[in-house]
Amino acid sequence: MSPAPDPSALLSLEGRVALVTGASGGIGSAVAESLRAAGAEVACVDLERAGASAEAESLACDVSDPAAVERMFERFGKRFDRLDVLVHCAGITRDAVLWKMDHDAWTGVLRTNLDSAYLLLRHAVPLMRAAGGGSVVLISSINAERGKLGQANYAASKAGLIGLGRTAARETGRFGIRVNVVSPGMIDTAMTASLPDEIKARARQESALGKIGRVEDVAQAGLFLASPMSDHVTGQVLRVDGGQLMA
Ligand code: NAD
């Protein structure tokens, strides 16, 4: 048996370029920071200029808008000559029970959470092919798989990411591109800060570990999937939920 490789080398992203969407948010900024700490140059994308860290390149873009995504990749191409990692964290909720959910709330969430991934992949795949391969991580949610009261739009968009991600994994694998999905359970961020205490208590109860996750928990899973440590992992859904959903 050959000696085990150095784990830190397998997690290194030295010389790699990563693009992170939703990079001003709780999970996105932690992801950007962990990729940067692993040695990657990071382009941070958010609605307004993202300020994840002084060293990161910031690109303002509404990722639900096809023309804006195209312009963003033009700006990206002027600054970077390759793309190795895409982590799509941008996402919104607009909760209401189905029969009270207006059409804007439906399309707004689908466009921001799901259409965006399609738009990003269309630009990212050719760049990753040119770089000889790459890794894409789409941030879904456990609510994609289990459904959630008041979140028909959100659950549908996040379930769509799983189908899109697995199809992209099949279509791009032969170019050395891996595509995986991370499904967080409840994580302590701005998105969940305003939820009633009883919902947070229920999430804690549901979790086998008895706690709500931290943004770092998702960032570490993102780094694993972005790095050579997960070289033979593609088309998978990795739940980072403390065992909140097990099936
Ligand atoms: P957050 O609100 O802190 O971050 C989301 C970021 O996305 C924000 O910075 C926002 O400006 C950006 N964004 C929204 N619309 C955009 C658009 N059209 N274009 C560009 N950027 C846009 O939320 P978070 O908790 O960090 O969530 C990050 C991702 O994780 C989301 O996709 C969310 O659905 C998912 N998620 C979160 C949890 C949780 O409990 N926090 C659980 C499961 C999944």
Q: Per-residue pLDDT for 52 more than 60?
A: no
Across 53-67, 118-132, 208-222, least confident range: 53-67
Task: Please state the pTM of the whole predicted model.
Answer: 0.97
What average pLDDT does the chain have? 96
| pLDDT at residue 14 tops 60 | yes
Q: What angle do CA 156, 90, 97 make, to 5 degrees?
A: 35
Report whether 240 contacts 219 (CB < 8 A).
no
Give the pLDDT confidence score for residue 50 in this predicted structure: 59
Residue 154 annotated to the active site: yes
Encoding tokens for residue 185? 């359970």
Average pLDDT, stretch 52-76? 88
Q: What mean pLDDT comes out for the span 209-237? A: 98
Distance 77 CA to ligand 1 centre (A): 25
Nearest CA to ligand 1 atom 10: 22
Task: Calculate mean pLDDT across residues 60-66.
Answer: 98
| The one catalytic residue among 73, 76, 154, 224 | 154
Residue 51 is predicted with a pLDDT of 54
134-184, pLDDT tens digit by residue? 999 999 999 999 999 999 999 999 999 999 999 999 999 999 999 999 999
Q: What is the pLDDT of residues 183-200, one digit of tens each?
A: 999 999 988 998 999 999
Contact of 59 with 52, CB cutoff 8 Å: no
Query: Residue 224 pLDDT > 90, yes or no?
Result: yes
Residue 80's pLDDT is 97
> What pLDDT score was predicted for residue 191?
87
pLDDT (average), residues 41-58: 78
Phi, psi for 71 (deg, rounded to 5): -65, -40
User: Can you spell out the DSSP letters for the chain?
Assistant: -PPPPPHHHHT--TT-EEEEESTTSHHHHHHHHHHHHTT-EEEEEESS---S-TTSEEEE--TT-HHHHHHHHHHHHHH-S---EEEE-------B-GGG--HHHHHHHHIIIIIHHHHHHHHHHHHHHHTT-EEEEEE--THHHH--TTBHHHHHHHHHHHHHHHHHHHHHGGGTEEEEEEEE-SB-SHHHHTS-HHHHHHHHHHSTTSS-B-HHHHHHHHHHHHSGGGTT--S-EEEESTTSS--
pLDDT confidence tier of residue 113, bands split at 50, 70 and 90: very high
- Sheet of strand 237-240, all strands in order from the earlier edge strand to the far edge: 57-60, 41-46, 17-21, 85-88, 134-139, 177-184, 237-240
- Average pLDDT in the 212-226 region? 98
Burial class (CB in 10 A: 0-12, 13-18, 19+), 225: buried
Report whether pLDDT(53) > 80.
no
Choose one of 19, 73, 92, 204 to mutate for the ligand 1 pocket test, by most ligand atoms within 8 angstroms of C-beta: 92
What are the residue ranges spanned by the domains of the chain?
12-246
CATH code for the structural domain at 12-246? 3.40.50.720
For the beta carbon of residue 47, count every other beta carbon within 10 angstroms.
Answer: 17
Residues in the ligand 1 pocket, defined by CB under 6 Å: 21-22, 24-28, 46-47, 62-64, 89-92, 112, 139, 141, 184, 186-187, 189-192
Measured in angstroms, how far is the CA atom of residue 20 from the centroid of ligand 1? 11
Chain-centre distance for alpha carbon 145: 16
